[in-house]
């Protein structure tokens, strides 16, 4: 037997109630409205990896080594696997390149973390880019990122 909540009396209403929320959320993403995170900074996955690796190195050099939590170790593994850039110089170069383009901080981090290959892929993954950058300008940015990525040591 199905129990009905006061907010959603049945499954059909529940589904109808979710749709406006999703539309509103997608609209906010396209307009780059993130009220909860307006004052937050974004980090590239590679930057998070560098921070976690630094913390791990600090711990290993300490007199009394502490064991890291499972979450810390999983985060370290994840960021190592999915980080696109392997050294500080490349990270700084990519961040600098993207900052020159006057991108929103969400767009900057998303482009660097996802490394899309084509303007179409970039716009599909980051809807706010639609109409902000011409395809050729976006293609140049993506090629520059790929070049920096391929030249890292």
Write down the residue that tokens 């009394």 correspond to: 64
Residue 13: per-residue pLDDT = 45
Q: What's this model's pTM, rounded to 2 decimal places?
A: 0.76
- The CATH number fitting domain 45-151, selected from 1.10.1740.10, 1.20.1250.40, 3.40.640.10, 1.20.140.10: 1.20.1250.40
Per DSSP, the residues of the chain read -PPPPSS-SSHHHHHHHHHHHHHHHHHHHHTT--GGGTT-----HHHHHHHHHHHHHHHHHSSS--PPPHHHHHHHHHHHHH-S--SHHHHHHHHHHHHHTT--HHHHHHHHHH--SSHHHHHHH-GGGTTTS-HHHHHHHHHHHHHHHHH--
- Give 25-33 contacts, CB < 8 A, sequence gap 24+: 26/127, 29/127, 29/128, 30/127, 30/128, 30/130, 31/128, 32/104, 32/106, 32/107, 32/128
32 — pLDDT class (breaks 50, 70, 90): confident
pLDDT digits (tens, 9 = 90+) for 62-94: 888 899 999 999 999 999 999 999 999 999 999
Phi, psi at 57, each rounded to 5°: -65, -40
Q: What is the domain partition of the chain in residue ranges?
A: 45-151
**Residue partners of 64: CB distance under 8 A and separation at least 6:** none
Residue 18: per-residue pLDDT = 55
Per-residue pLDDT averaged across 95-113, rounded? 95
């Amino acid at each position: 037997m199905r129990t009905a909540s006061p907010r959603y009396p049945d499954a059909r209403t529940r589904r109808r109630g979710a749709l406006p929320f999703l539309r509103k959320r997608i609209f906010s993403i396209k307009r780059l409205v993130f009220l909860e995170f307006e004052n937050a900074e974004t980090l590239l996955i590679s930057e998070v990896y560098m921070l976690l690796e630094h913390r791990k190195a600090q711990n290993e050099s300490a007199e009394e080594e502490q064991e890291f939590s499972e979450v810390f170790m999983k985060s370290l593994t994840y960021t190592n696997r999915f980080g696109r850039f392997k050294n500080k110089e490349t990270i700084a170069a990519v961040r600098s390149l993207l900052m020159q383009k006057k991108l929103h901080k969400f767009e900057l981090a998303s482009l660097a973390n996802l490394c899309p290959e084509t303007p179409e892929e970039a716009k599909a993954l980051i809807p706010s880019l639609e109409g902000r950058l011409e395809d050729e300008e976006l293609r140049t940015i993506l090629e520059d990122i790929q070049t920096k990525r391929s030249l890292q040591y």
